[in-house]
Amino acid sequence: MEQQLQQLKEEALKKIQDAQGVKELNDVRVAYLGKKGPITDLLKGMGKLPAEERPKMGALVNVVRETVTEALESRMAVLEEAAIQAQLENESIDVTLPGRPAPAGNHHPLTRVVEEIEDFFISMGYEIAEGPEVEKDYYNFEALNLPKGHPARDMQDSFYISEDVLLRTHTSPVQARTMEAKKGEAIKIICPGKVYRRDNDDATHSHQFTQIEGLVVGENIRMSDLKGTLDLFAKKMFGADREIRLRPSFFPFTEPSVEMDISCFKCGGAGCNVCKKTGWIEILGAGMVHPNVLKMAGYDPSVVTGFAFGMGPERIAMLKYGVEDIRHFYTNDIRFISQFNRTEA
Ligand code: DAH
């Protein structure tokens, strides 16, 4: 029996040394020291021994049990420490790793152009005015000297909500609304916003687009004021060496009416694909506010005069950034939109 005990001890100690994990070691503990283990069995079998052998054997079994228990405990300490170490290594944070970039949004190219235009006019003392996109026929047409049946209405086919209500076809109705609200006071505003036309969408047409309207009303507002303003604007948006050219045109709400071109920013006027070999690029419509428009809004055209202009930010953005299809602004393709970021241009 002594030999058996010795063997048992060695076997247990070897298994303890060989155990590679906490769980494995626990299994060894249960196998050797548990209630159904061999050491417990030996202690239970003590009764069958002759009385004189019992103390000696009892002491031997206890020594073996203590030796095994101690070995278990010290191995357990080692394995637990190793487990913690392994966990620490696994979960450690490498602070030198580059961070994962959080995808940040950008301003939409159109928003950028609109804000750039707004910034320019705000710096010139203009205020920003807004009006409804669902507009009355009266403000969209009539108050702008476009009575029912006027042939120029055909140029701006609209989406009608009812006979008298439509989606505005331009931002010009904000002129009439602002004059009505200001009741004869001087005015210096720009009005950015969405407009709608019944057009078939293609590379240069969209049924929804953006406009920015300008209106200045007061005493002694002259055509030269309009020209100087547009000249500064063209230089701010397209480069300090731009020149402008005013060509006679027609709008029912201005008299005289003009169309403004800028000298081509790509070729400087020599002729290229951007300016279609003319050296000039058409940018906006403008003119002196028609006396009828002033009158209808309660202003006295013999006392005050005004100028107005209207432009399309899409066209300006397309020119500035070389965008070849207006639909890119609305189809929300991230590959298009992410080409524009706040820091450049
Ligand atoms: N409303 C015009 C359009 O949509 C643009 C325009 C031209 C606005 C001349 C103006 C202006 O204020 O004076 O085609």
Q: What is the value of pTM for the model shown? A: 0.72
The label of the residue with tokens 């709608």 reads: 196
The pick from 126, 255, 290, 309 for probing ligand 1's pocket by mutation, whose C-beta has the most ligand atoms within 8 angstroms, reads 309
pLDDT, residue 343, reads 54
pLDDT digits 0-9 by tens, 184-206: 999 999 999 999 999 899 999 99
Where residue 9 falls among pLDDT bands split at 50, 70, 90?
A: confident
Residue nearest to atom 5 of ligand 1 (CA): 310
CB 140 within 8 Å of CB 159: no
CB 113 within 8 Å of CB 313: yes
pLDDT digits 0-9 by tens, 234-267: 999 999 999 999 999 999 999 999 999 999 999 9
CB 143 within 8 Å of CB 113: no
Q: Is the dihedral of CA 246, 251, 254, 256 positive or negative?
A: positive
Nearest to 334 by CA among 102, 101, 104: 104
CB atoms within 10 A of CB 124: 15
Confidence check: pLDDT of 35 > 60: yes
Confidence check: pLDDT of 284 > 80: yes
Cα–ligand 1 centroid distance for 81 (angstroms): 80
pLDDT, residue 342, reads 52
The pick from 155, 169, 170 for probing ligand 1's pocket by mutation, whose C-beta has the most ligand atoms within 8 angstroms, reads 170
How many Å apart are CA 77 and CA 22, to the nearest integer? 9
Confidence check: pLDDT of 180 > 60: yes
Confidence check: pLDDT of 345 > 50: no
Q: What three-state secondary structure class fits 14?
A: helix
CB 242 within 8 Å of CB 263: yes
